[in-house]
Amino acid sequence: MNRTFASTALVACFWLLTSSSSSYSQDQDLQGKWGLGLNVGGQRLFGDLTNVGFGLGFEGVASYRILKFADVALALGYNQLKLVGSTTDFFNADIKGSFEIISKGKFRPFVSLGAGTLGKSGFWEAAFFGGGGFRFLVDRRFVLGVGADYRHTTTDALDGPPAGKSKDGYLNVRAGLTYYFPSSTYESEQIIANERAPLFEVSEEGDTSEEPSENSSRSELETKNMEEYIKLKSRIDELNQNMNSKEQEIQRLQSRLSERRKTLALLEKKAAGQRSLSIPKTTSMSGFNEIYQQALINYYNKNYAEAVSLLRLLIKQYPDHELASHCQYWIGRNLFALNQFKQAADELTKVLAYENSSKKDETLLLLGKTYLKLGAKEKAKEVFNRLLRECPNSELVVEARDTAQKL
């Protein structure tokens, strides 16, 4: 029976390893997720008796990932111990914690510690254990685990009376599969990716809308869309520079990049057919929007000096425009790209003088990075902390907190 069980377990493990989902991300973070699993295996007694074998056992497990590298779990199981000429059955209830030595990638070794109770024939006793093993992340929801631990009991009752000289213990070996329930954040990302939502339908915070607000003019929407596109395109470029070598992740990002390039090609074609730009004497929105788009295109094409010139002229011509703070922010960003960090810091500081600017969180993050480039770590840390205090709902909070903690 034990040989048949072992063969079945090996076949199941091989099938799981060879049927991994192609959409799996090796850096999948399980933190904050609940999991339910079933483990099977065996256990061997270490006590006064000798010449004993492995008995069959299985358990159900409910776990919660409290940290990126650690989880806690509750296990309830049924076990058999092979004795000399007989078999004893008992139940176990454990609570344990496991800590991953490596918390990135598909293969993740871990160590575990825990305590519990086990009982048979009308008695219960405590047990303490420690061990280790590894997990293999099959895809975004299923995790294969293999582990072993040694369990030390507080009595000598497992191998039956008469009591021996040493307290009992047993080796516990388990393998099984755990299902992790998806988080709402992951589902939202998948919906957007599957539907291939147009750029103007997705905001930075991940909200979607099928049509613009009634109070937004078409030209204002186009201006904000252009800025949003340039921002997303820039972020994709940064991701491409820091992307790891895993082919599955690269293919996913390249698919998104292809969609953005099509949009950029259409915009550049439109810009190429327009007349050369000059600052109009009127204060119409169309004049501002046309020049603002050209400045952003210059930024993406790395024509930073030309972009700064256009943006400075816009601020001079339209000092009270609702997007004036945006122009000021992009001046600082272009100067940062030119490695003119002192000038960039001065320009970014001006953005913070605008009331209710939607660029406040981005400005604080870039200003902190600028101070780091200038070697002013204390100023940088102060700016990052200001972002955490004044913009707690920004998606940039995580990056600001992580950077500040490293200083």
Whether pLDDT at 61 is above 80: yes
Give the pLDDT band of residue 267 (cuts 50, 70, 90). low
What whole-number distance in Å separates Cα of residue 309 and Cα of residue 18? 57
* In-domain check, residue 315: no
In 154-286, which ranges are E strands?
A: 169-180
Residues in the chain: 407
C-beta separation of 194 from 73 below 8 A:
no
How would you class 380 by CB atoms within 10 Å of its CB: exposed for 0-12, middle for 13-18, buried for 19 or more?
buried
- pTM greater than 0.85: no
Residue 192: CB atoms within 10 Å: 14
H-type alpha helices, 76-201: 184-195
Closest CA to 247 of 23, 42, 55, 64: 23
Domain count, the chain: 1
107-143 pLDDT per residue, tens = 899 999 999 988 876 678 898 999 999 999 888 789 9
What whole-number distance in Å separates Cα of residue 301 and Cα of residue 366? 20
Q: What is the dihedral of CA 225, 226, 232, 235, to 10 degrees?
A: -150
**Which has more pLDDT, 164 or 367?**
367
183-227 pLDDT per residue, tens = 654 444 444 444 444 443 344 444 444 444 555 567 677 777 888
3-state secondary structure of 392: coil
User: Please, what is the average pLDDT of the chain?
Assistant: 78
Q: What is the pLDDT of residue 149?
A: 94
**Which has more pLDDT, 125 or 387?**
387
Host domain of residue 59: 2-182
* In-domain check, residue 109: yes
Amino acid identity, position 153: T
Q: What is the pLDDT of residue 346?
A: 95
Whether pLDDT at 289 is above 80: yes
Asked which of 95-99, 181-185, 196-200, 403-407 is least confident by mean pLDDT, the reply is 196-200
What whole-number distance in Å separates Cα of residue 150 and Cα of residue 132? 10
* In-domain check, residue 395: no
The pLDDT > 70 percentage for the chain reads 70
Closest CA to 179 of 61, 27, 76: 61
35-49 pLDDT per residue, tens = 999 999 998 888 766
**Which has more pLDDT, 257 or 193?**
257
* In-domain check, residue 197: no
Q: Kindly report the CATH number assigned to the domain that includes residue 67.
A: 2.40.160.20
C-beta separation of 288 from 321 below 8 A:
yes
Contacts of 62 (CB under 8 A, 6+ apart): 34, 35, 36, 73, 74
C-beta separation of 37 from 119 below 8 A:
no
Closest CA to 90 of 116, 55, 60, 120: 120
C-beta separation of 141 from 125 below 8 A:
no
Span 285-303, average pLDDT: 87
Q: What is the dihedral of CA 361, 362, 365, 368, to 10 degrees?
A: -100
Peptide bond into 162 cis (omega under 30): yes
Beta partners for residue 144, in sequence order: 136, 177
C-beta separation of 360 from 391 below 8 A:
yes
What whole-number distance in Å separates Cα of residue 160 and Cα of residue 49? 10
What whole-number distance in Å separates Cα of residue 70 and Cα of residue 78? 26
Q: What is the pLDDT of residue 7?
A: 52
Give the pLDDT band of residue 25 (cuts 50, 70, 90). very low
Asked which of 56-60, 143-147, 229-233, 255-259 is least confident by mean pLDDT, the reply is 255-259
Amino acid identity, position 322: E
* In-domain check, residue 386: no
* In-domain check, residue 63: yes
Q: What is the pLDDT of residue 71?
A: 92
Closest CA to 100 of 140, 43, 145: 145
DSSP 67: S
What whole-number distance in Å separates Cα of residue 337 and Cα of residue 333? 6
C-beta separation of 46 from 34 below 8 A:
no
- Residue 248 CA from chain centroid, whole number: 16
* In-domain check, residue 291: no
Closest CA to 310 of 291, 297, 284: 291
What whole-number distance in Å separates Cα of residue 116 and Cα of residue 77? 11
Give the pLDDT band of residue 355 (cuts 50, 70, 90). confident
Q: Which two tokens stand for residue 374?
A: 């200038």
In 66-106, which ranges are E strands?
A: 70-83, 86-100
What whole-number distance in Å separates Cα of residue 253 and Cα of residue 34? 28
